[in-house]
Chains A and B, each alone.
Chain A
Amino acid sequence: MIGFTSADLLGLLPALLLVLAGMAVLLLEVFQRASFPRTHLAYVTALAALLAAGVSYLIAPAEPQTLWGGMVRFDALGCVITAFTAVACAITALGSTRYLEQLEIDRGEYYALLLFATAGMSVMVSANDFIVLFLGLEMGAVAMYALTAYQRRSNLSSEAGFKYFLLGALGSALLVYGVAFLTGLTGSTGYDQIGAALRAPDAARHFANPTGVVPFLPLPLVGMALVFVAFLIKMAAAPFHMWAPDAYSGAPTPTTGFLSGAGKIAGVAALFRLFAGPFATPELSGGVAGWTTIAFFAALASIVVGNLVALTQKRVRRMLAWSSVAHAGYLLLALCALGVQEAAAGSIRAVILYGAAYSVATAGAFVVLGAFGRDQAEVDTLDELSGLGRKHPAMGLALSLFLISAAGLPPAAGFVAKLSLFSTAFAAGEGSAIPASFAEMLQWLAVGGLVLSVAGGLAYLRVIAHLYGRDAHVRVDYRPHTATTLAVGLAAFLTLWMGLLPGRVLVWGDNVAKQLLTAPAVAAAPSEPAPAAPADAGPSAPPSEALKAIEVVPLPNAELPR
């Protein structure tokens, strides 16, 4: 058993804070009367989340470090994404309290689950080992299943929760199976070791006839594809998006914003870490057969399906769910650009910008939607929203701002993000490392994606048109609350700030890109005794020759790598 130092703890401090705050909220919940309103728990949650965001901003290291014996990478990407998700968590927590009160499901577990989900996302993004990645992913996912099905008395919520749960569990199974094949390279689950094995001079052998075990099947490639598909499921990218519209329209409304905003950003950030690190081999990323192509087709499908179906939706939350599929597509477009060396830094910066804009605006939009409703029902159709913008100017203005940001129009943060994303994708088409035909396809997708995002933007603008249209025939109540106002104010401020003065976020993006693209050197933490021990056991012993009877080999005691 190796020990750990305070540096190890510092690296995970935001996640630790979030988990501790979640436990504190659970305890607070236990020690109070059932009739007591839970608003203060929302404030505690929001404060803890903002604190975690602030801490992760402050402790962001100047140079990437690996902690916990190489299992956690502590760098700008993890810190920035943790900050974004924590801010989204704070907005969601504040925006939920009035909503939950209305439905009489205002309990402390809700806030604790929000905090645990955020902590999970933070761990997932910081992972430098598939075990940690899986733990973080599941920590986030299990909490999100519970949040989605949180409205126990609602048929919709339970069903939404189940669909999300089943697809999520399938995604986990695919992920673990994929990791098993990658582990087959060297026996190690570490990113660095797997990356080293994939980059080794004799790595081509793995792709031709990998372990020599199952002929004609490049097991590491299959493993990477499975891991990628698992993330597509979790991010609700086409063609694995079918759960999203149901889950998003059945979950408690403020939760949906968190699920679709923060969840997607954390997922794509973890993918970026994978594809900028262990999977970034010339054979795999540059060539037409590499993951860039898979990402390309997933991006294409997501952008087309998401935008076009969003246009046909009559229900607001379903419309937002479908367009979130399109947003997943844009993020995957950036992932394509990551595979092109010239555009890699730009694509990382674009994703950071996009993540900042999207996570905040989505959380804010769903909080506003959750603030309206009648009796126990929530606003659902466009007609019900009609005229609300004039009756409640502040809320209407805020919702319009969030939708404008999601559509990618000027004063809001989404504009800068979308501009940077599409220009990066277009620039990637000029990269020299990729075949001309593929470069052309990438540029066509960048242009086509831009056109389609205008079409998708119409779906958002239609909501705004309804907001300021003639009055609704149905009575819709606005449920005012200080916490809701705070949440919407925070989200609106951030959206405007990042839209008008994007300089700060651009600096973060550049910093993340710089740290992510520095070669994953042997930045071994001092606490790590022998980082290379598992790595050199694998490639040096060609698996095809070492195919010996398993049960004969005794397991030496000293082989434990960590």
Chain B
Amino acid sequence: MSLTLEHYLLLSAALFTIGAVGLVTRRNVIVLFMCVEIMLNAANLALIAFSRFHLVADGQMFAFTVMAVAAAEAGIGLAIMVNIFRHKKSLLVDDLNVFKN
């Protein structure tokens, strides 16, 4: 049996679900960020699979763009997290509560 588009899409859906579930259940902001990255990469996988399926390179170009943009985003995100850690000495979402009062 060979690998078909279906397999890639199912793997991508599984990764996306793992990311989404993690986003809801985990408490550490870095893990939350990792979950979003998993979702992005799941999307990339689907893009590349479709691209290969249709033999059109658009999807692969998009995947490269997504990677570059995700790196820029990670730069900003990690900088914000470092800043939060300086203020809170903690990276748990439960401690992100300055707006509660």
Given A169-B77, A550-B4; A131-B62 close (CB under 8 Å)? yes
* Nearest CB of A to B45, in Å: 8
Does any Cβ of B come within 8 Å of A45's Cβ?
A: no
A156 close to B99 (CB less than 8 A)? yes
A152: which of B3, B42, B50, B83 is its contact (CB, 8 Å)? B83
Does any Cβ of A come within 8 Å of B84's Cβ?
A: yes
Report Cα–Cα, A133/B9, bound state, in Å.
23
Does any Cβ of B come within 8 Å of A3's Cβ?
A: no
B58 close to A534 (CB less than 8 A)? yes
Given A159-B98, A179-B47, A183-B47; A145-B76 close (CB under 8 Å)? yes
Report Cα–Cα, A176/B70, bound state, in Å.
11
Q: What sequence of 0s and 1s flags, for each residue 528-554 of chain A, a beta carbon within 8 Å of any chain B beta carbon?
A: 000000100110000100111111110
Report Cα–Cα, A156/B79, bound state, in Å.
15
A213 close to B6 (CB less than 8 A)? yes
Does any Cβ of B come within 8 Å of A181's Cβ?
A: yes
How many of B's residues come within 8 Å of A, CB to CB? 54
A145 close to B80 (CB less than 8 A)? yes
Q: In the complex, what residues of B have CB within 8 A of residue A214's CB?
A: 6, 9-10
Does any Cβ of B come within 8 Å of A500's Cβ?
A: no
B42-93 interface (Cβ within 8 A of A): 42-44, 46-47, 49-59, 61-62, 65-66, 69-70, 72-73, 76-77, 79-81, 83-84, 87-88
Q: Which residue of B lies closest to A550 (CB)?
A: B52
A157-196 interface (Cβ within 8 A of B): 158-163, 165-166, 169-170, 172-174, 176-177, 179-181, 183-184, 186-190
Report Cα–Cα, A551/B45, bound state, in Å.
15
Given A184-B50, A187-B51, A211-B5; A131-B61 close (CB under 8 Å)? yes
A183: which of B40, B50, B84 is its contact (CB, 8 Å)? B50
B54 close to A549 (CB less than 8 A)? no
Report Cα–Cα, A179/B48, bound state, in Å.
12
A188 close to B19 (CB less than 8 A)? no
Does any Cβ of B come within 8 Å of A375's Cβ?
A: no
Q: In the complex, what residues of A have CB within 8 A of residue B4's CB?
A: 547-550
A559 close to B72 (CB less than 8 A)? no
Q: Which residue of B lies closest to A174 (CB)?
A: B39
Q: In the complex, what residues of A have CB within 8 A of residue B44's CB?
A: 176, 180
Residues of A contacting B: mostly: helix
Does any Cβ of B come within 8 Å of A135's Cβ?
A: yes
A561: which of B40, B57, B65, B98 is its contact (CB, 8 Å)? B57
Q: What sequence of 0s and 1s flags, for each residue 1-18 of chain B, a beta carbon within 8 Å of any chain A beta carbon?
A: 011111011101000100
* Nearest CB of A to B44, in Å: 7
Does any Cβ of B come within 8 Å of A387's Cβ?
A: no
Report Cα–Cα, A4/B45, bound state, in Å.
31
Q: In the complex, what residues of A have CB within 8 A of residue B54's CB?
A: 184, 186-188, 534, 537-538
Does any Cβ of B come within 8 Å of A130's Cβ?
A: yes
Q: In the complex, what residues of B have CB within 8 A of residue A149's CB?
A: 79-80, 83
A176 close to B43 (CB less than 8 A)? yes
Q: In the complex, what residues of B have CB within 8 A of residue A184's CB?
A: 46, 50, 53-54
Q: A160-B99, A173-B36 are in contact. List 8 more A-B contacts (CB 8 A).
A: A131-B65, A145-B80, A166-B29, A176-B44, A177-B39, A187-B54, A550-B52, A561-B56
What is B's interface to A at a CB cutoff of 8 Å? 2-6, 8-10, 12, 16, 19, 23, 29, 32-33, 36, 39-40, 42-44, 46-47, 49-59, 61-62, 65-66, 69-70, 72-73, 76-77, 79-81, 83-84, 87-88, 96, 98-99
Which 3 pairs, one residue from A and one from B, show the smallest C-beta to C-beta distance?
A: A187-B54, A187-B56, A180-B46
17 contacts between A and B (CB under 8 A): A138-B69, A142-B72, A145-B80, A146-B79, A155-B88, A158-B83, A159-B98, A165-B76, A166-B32, A176-B43, A180-B44, A180-B59, A187-B54, A188-B56, A534-B54, A547-B4, A550-B49
